[in-house]
Amino acid sequence: MKRNSVLELGVGVFMLAGILGLVFLGLRVSGLGVSGPSDTYTLTANFANIGGLRPQAKVTMSGVRVGKVTDISLDPQWFDARVTMEIDDAYEGKLSGDTTAAILTSGLLGEQYIGLTVGGSPDMLEDGDVIHDTQQALVLEELIQQFVSNMAN
C-alpha cells in the first residue's frame, strides 16, 4: 500500500496536539507544579475551627502566596483540626518561632485561605515544626448568634 506522508504528518500533529493539551490541563488548569516535593517544607498548625478550609487552599503572607494546604485531619488528642501546609523552600528558616496563622476569607463569600504573620522571636521555624498561635475561622452563623444574644441583653 502506498504511504501518504501528508496524511501521516496530519495524524502526528493531531496526536501531538492531544498530548500538549493534556500537559496544559495538568500544568495550567489543575496547577500541578513541575517542581518536585523537595522545593517545599512542611509546617503544621492546630485550629479550633477551620470553617470551610479545604486542601489545596493557598497559604499567604501579607497577601502574597507562599504555599498551600496539603492535608486537614482531626487531632485525636485535642479534638481540634490539624492543618498541614507546604511552604516554599525560599522561606525555610526565615519565619520566626512565634509566627501566627489565621484562617481568612477572600471577600465576604469567597474561598478561605491561611494567612501567616511573623513575630519577633529569634528562633526560626524548621521543617515539620508546629505553629502554636492560631486564630480560627470566622463562622458567619456564630457571629450572627453572638450579635443576636448581645441585642437580647
76 touches another protein by CB under 8 A:
no
Distance, CA of 59 to CA of 65 (rounded, Å):
6
**Least separation in angstroms between CB 28 and another protein:** 7
Q: Is the dihedral of CA 76, 79, 81, 87 positive or negative?
A: negative
The reply on whether position 140 binds another protein by CB under 8 A is no
Alpha carbons 54 and 7: distance in angstroms, whole number: 48
Alpha carbons within 13 angstroms on the beta-carbon side of residue 114 total 35
From 1-9, 44-52, 77-85, 122-130, give the range in contact with another protein by CB under 8 A: 1-9
Q: Which of 83, 111, 118, 128 binds another protein (CB under 8 A)?
A: 111
- Contacts (CB under 8 A) with another protein, residues 37-66: 56-58, 65
Minimum separation from the CB atom of position 39 to another protein (A): 17
Quote the cell numbers at residue 88. Answer: 516554599
Q: Is 36 in the site for another protein (CB under 8 A)?
A: no
Specify whether the backbone of 79 is left (phi greater than 0), alpha (psi in -120 to 50) or beta. left
Task: Specify the residue, 4 or 77, whose C-beta has the smaller distance to another protein.
Answer: 4
Nearest to 50 by CA among 70, 74, 86: 74
- Applying CB under 8 A, which residues contact another protein? 1, 3-4, 7-8, 10-11, 13-15, 17-18, 21-22, 24-26, 28-32, 56-58, 65, 106-111
